[in-house]
Amino acid sequence: MNNTLLARSADALYWLARYVERAENLARILDVNDTFARDRTGGQNWLSIVQLNADREAFFARHPTADAARVIGFYVADTTNPTSIASAVRAARENARTLRPLISTEMWVQLNVFHNRLATVTAADLTPGRLSPLLAQVKEGCQTHTGITEGTFFRDEGWYFYQLGRYLERADQTTRLLDVKYHVLLPDQQDPGSAVDVSQWNALLRSAAGYHAYRRLHATGITPGQVAGFLLLNRRFPRSVYLCVREAELLLAELGARYGLRGGHRAAEQLDGLRGLLSGVTIEDVLIGGLHEFLDEVQRQLNRTAAALGIGFFGYPEQSESETSESAQ
């Protein structure tokens, strides 16, 4: 049989995975911020979450200040905010709806029930004491999706696009997390004596589910550089940018070889370059050159990879160089 995977379906599979991954990451970040990320005065920095999602404009158009209740409401349940968990899960489910002939019944049912559950969330569920269990449910919902997919989704071309979406989104999320948090958490430059706030760096690692793995690797202490290096360059941590890029590169190569598809060569070139960038540096090099500048370059290359997939496989027009539109239904 020839390739019969519709370009539109491949696109929807890719976005299905991205949206679920996005919802999971957002739940992690909100949960950790709610639970662990207190500074020495006991305050929480909720604005950094708005920055992390590049939502300053949209957020302050709706809210005067970035306090806990407002940021949580904006990112958990606000369906008018396209970057909320509710919107991501809804978008995942709408993609899944168009994909029902391809995905397993169990994948669809779980997402449908998950979505319907989130649709019943009220303001009362977002209050202290109830938020964390809700976010745990979101994480678990996303991970259940991932597990069901692993166990039931047929491994043809569609599987590769799904996995590509997952790893590219994860790389993107880790990059953003690091970019925003690193600079917020660095010791005060004006006060060289100020201590590294260990609990905040721990919280950053917990956001990426990397705390325990990091401890195994760096048992003696915690330094900002080591944390950044771990999240960016570690070869075995499943949420490190390096690992995600490497996985995406392997997936794309296998997709091309196994199914005789030629649409991936530009994306493959991008990923090859990106992996080269990530494997050729140490974290010390990165910090000297500027972490923010480095992460910006990584983001640009991730975006170019996504755009190249759009043109090579999903039938997007040629000129959209800078960023793929989140065309997803």
Partner 1 sequence: MILSDYTSPGFYCELTDSPDSAPIRARLESLTIDALHRRAAAAEAELYNLGITFTVYSDKDAIDRILPFDVIPRVIPAAEWARIESGVIQRVAALNLLLADLYHDQRILKDRILPADLILDHKQFRPEMQGIDLPHGTYVHICGTDIIRGADGGFMVLEDNARTPSGVSYVIENRHMMLRAFPDLIDGVGVRPIDSYGLQLRAALRECAPVADPAIVLLSPGSYNSAFFEHVFLAREMGVPLVEGRDLVVIDDRVFMRTIGGHAPVEMIYRRLNDDFLDPEAFNPDSMLGVKGLMRAYRAGNVGLANAVGTGIADDKAVYAYMPRIIRYYLGQDPILPNVETHLCREADGLAYTLDHLDQLVVKPVGEAGGYGITIGPRASRAELDACRAQLLADPANYISQPCISLSVAPTLVEGRVEPRHVDLRPFAITGAKTWVLPGGLTRVALREGSLIVNSSQGGGSKDTWVLE
Choose one: 98-106, 127-135, 210-218, 272-280; the region binding partner 1 (CB under 8 A).
98-106
State yes or no: residue 68 binds partner 1 (CB under 8 A): no
What angle do helix axes 7-35 and 131-152 make, rounded to 10 degrees? 150
Q: Which is nearer to partner 1, 282 or 329 (CB)?
A: 329
Task: Identify the sign of the CA torsion 233, 238, 241, 247.
Answer: positive
Member of 57, 61, 105, 319 binding partner 1 (CB under 8 A): 105
Q: Where are the beta strands (DSSP E) in 189-301?
A: none
- The Cα–Cα gap between 87 and 85 comes to 5
State yes or no: residue 98 binds partner 1 (CB under 8 A): yes
Q: Which is nearer to partner 1, 113 or 257 (CB)?
A: 113
Q: Which is nearer to partner 1, 320 or 329 (CB)?
A: 329
- The Cα–Cα gap between 283 and 204 comes to 17
Q: How far is the CB of 86 from partner 1 (least distance, A)?
A: 13
Q: Which of 109, 85, 94 is nearest to 22 (CA)?
A: 85
Q: How far is the CB of 287 from partner 1 (least distance, A)?
A: 40
State yes or no: residue 328 binds partner 1 (CB under 8 A): no
- Other beta carbons within 10 Å of 26: 24
Query: How far is residue 81 from each of residues 47, 170, 175, 322, measured CA to CA in Å?
Result: 16, 21, 22, 23
Site size toward partner 1, by CB under 8 A: 31
What angle do helix axes 241-259 and 265-279 make, rounded to 10 degrees? 150
- Match 């976005």 to its residue by tokens: 15
Member of 43, 54, 65, 109 binding partner 1 (CB under 8 A): 109
Q: Which is nearer to partner 1, 162 or 211 (CB)?
A: 162
State yes or no: residue 168 binds partner 1 (CB under 8 A): no
DSSP secondary structure code for residue 38 in this structure: B
SS3 assignment, position 44: strand
State yes or no: residue 101 binds partner 1 (CB under 8 A): yes
Member of 2, 41, 190, 220 binding partner 1 (CB under 8 A): 2
Q: How far is the CB of 64 from partner 1 (least distance, A)?
A: 26
Choose one: 58-66, 136-144, 177-185, 310-318; the region binding partner 1 (CB under 8 A).
310-318
Member of 112, 144, 146, 223 binding partner 1 (CB under 8 A): 112
Choose one: 20-28, 107-115, 233-241, 281-289; the region binding partner 1 (CB under 8 A).
107-115
The CA-based diameter of the chain, rounded to the nearest angstrom, is 68
Q: Which long-range contacts (CB under 8 A, 24 or more apart) does 263-272 make?
A: 263/311, 263/312, 263/313, 264/308, 264/309, 264/312, 264/313, 265/312, 266/308, 266/311, 266/312, 267/305, 267/308, 267/309, 267/312, 269/308, 270/301, 270/304, 270/305, 270/308, 271/245, 271/305
* Contacts to partner 1 from residues 232-271, by CB under 8 A: 259-263
Q: Which is nearer to partner 1, 36 or 259 (CB)?
A: 259
Member of 60, 128, 315, 326 binding partner 1 (CB under 8 A): 315
Q: Which is nearer to partner 1, 5 or 26 (CB)?
A: 5
Residues that bind partner 1 (CB under 8 A): 2-10, 94, 97-98, 100-101, 105, 108-109, 112-113, 116, 157, 161, 259-263, 313-315, 329
